[in-house]
Amino acid sequence: MYAIISEIDNPSGETVNQIWHKLCEACGLGAIYATPTPHFTWLVAEELDVEKSKLNLSEIVKSSPVISTHTFGLGLFSGGHPVLFLPMVKTVEMIHLHQHIWNEISPYTKDLNKYYSPEFWLPHITLALKDINRENLACAINEIGFEKIELNVSMTSLAIAEHEDEKIGTILERFPVRN
């Protein structure tokens, strides 16, 4: 599986890492550590022409503004494999950049994840996934559900990430955003 992601600024990333650590220690939620870095995701696909995507992303990042937004509260994608996350305020700049990335990269993909399409996309920073069950979800809510978690998040890059089941994800290519 491949994803186009944006890594986040260091202070926000450190806070997310602290939350990951807290959830791992208190609730046994450690699957998040297969994620290469604190980030939010623009596009997910089972297959990606990496070389063509690199060329397009290198051009996209040249004209992209630094995206800054806020997180507040907690979110949960429910279902058989719940995901706990920090919801991000979707700005006009994010919407435009997301559409641009989608238009430029999706022709080089197969099996796009529809939940990352412009129609469904809910930008978020994942806190726990894959190893959530009823007990540790309750633990997670008890651990962080009563804390005020608000971040001012800035993206630092666009990146191509690859992740295979049971392996730690890797960043294949990183394109820093110019300030």
Handedness of CA 78, 80, 86, 92 (dihedral sign): negative
Tens digit of pLDDT at every position of the chain (179 positions): 999 999 999 999 999 999 999 999 999 998 887 777 899 999 999 999 999 999 999 999 998 888 999 999 999 999 999 999 999 999 999 999 999 999 999 999 999 999 999 999 999 999 998 899 999 999 999 999 999 999 999 999 999 999 877 667 888 999 999 76
What is the pLDDT, as a whole number, of residue 179?
Answer: 61
pLDDT of residue 166: 64
pLDDT for the residue numbered 69: 96
pLDDT (0 to 100) of residue 32:
83
The H-or-E segment that residue 49 falls in is none
List the CATH number of the domain containing 18.
3.90.1140.10
Which residue range is the domain that position 14 belongs to? Answer: 2-176
The pTM for the full model equals 0.93
Let me know: does 158 contact 151? Beta carbons within 8 Å: no
What domain count does the chain have? 1
- 3-state SS assignment for residue 132: coil
Helices 134-144 and 10-27 pack at an angle, to 10 degrees, of 130
> Are the beta carbons of 124 and 88 closer than 8 angstroms?
yes
Rounded to whole angstroms, the Cα distance separating 46 from 60 reads 22
In this prediction, residue 33 carries a pLDDT of 78
